[in-house]
Structure 1
Amino acid sequence: MENQWTSGLCSCMEDGKTVCLTCFCPCVAFGRIANIADEGNHGCGECGIFYGLICCVVGLPCLFSCTYRTKIRRKFGLPESPASDCITHCFCESCALCQEYRELKNRGLDPSIGWNEHMQRATSPPMGQYMKS
């Protein structure tokens, strides 16, 4: 059984900050998404720069970004909708990035802090544990 996306592809206005980030700084948004999807194996900066280079050289960043949509879908068991990952990114790159960013946030993986920070927070004992009574 597949899970469902927590928001729709065209639900961009649910989160104004994410809309602005994905529309005006797609390299940053993509880099953050890729860092989480790759579980920290690739840094936000390196993925964002590569995305920008593809955008400048080839003009089709969707050829790269759609592979990360696939990783996110597989990670959470999400359906490939409303179309294939490649078509979704080719025809609606900003909306796809925005949806993926929201999906990660809605599932407790805030892309703005990165994978390593999530892992550090997950393994750190609660602050009160160190306090003496």
Structure 2
Amino acid sequence: MANTWAHGLCGCFNDCGLCIITYFVPCYTAGKNAEAIGEGCLLHGLLYLVPIVNFVCAAQIRGKIRDQRTIEGSFVGDLLYHCCCPVCSLIQEAQELKSIPTNPPMVRE
């Protein structure tokens, strides 16, 4: 069974700080999103500054987030999201990574 995104694509203003940072410095958020899934923060932050490459790399990161969270979608869809609304896509991914912990907390008995 597939999950859905915890925040909508237009839910940018749910976290105004993240929205402002991503609007002015999207390479920072792109790098942090990559780092959260185990990729290189600096590499993806710098690649986000290169036209066309930024959309492809961001779509790959979005695909890995979808795979981890079992969210339906495709690379083409991810690429279109980043081409049409790159800031909203980065914010949605960052909010997804913040809202759902990857490792459940350990319980001591």
Q: TM-score, normalised by structure 2?
A: 0.84
How far does residue 50 in structure 1 lie from its aligned partner after superposition?
2.0
Partner of 2:40: 43
Q: Percent identity over the alignment?
A: 33
Distance 2:61 2:40 in 1: 14
Q: Which has the higher contact order (CA 8 A, sep 6+)?
A: 2
Return the match for 2:70 from 77, 85, 103. Answer: 77
How far does residue 36 in structure 1 lie from its aligned partner after superposition?
1.3
- Which 4+ residue blocks in structure 1 deviate beyond 3 angstroms? none
How many aligned residue pairs are there? 104
Q: Which has the larger radius of gyration?
A: 1
Distance 2:77 2:63 in 1: 9
- Paired residue type of 2:42: G
Partner of 1:126: none
1:12 aligns with 2:12: yes
Q: TM-score, normalised by structure 1?
A: 0.70
| Aligned Cα root-mean-square deviation (Å) | 2.2
Distance 2:93 2:4 in 1: 12
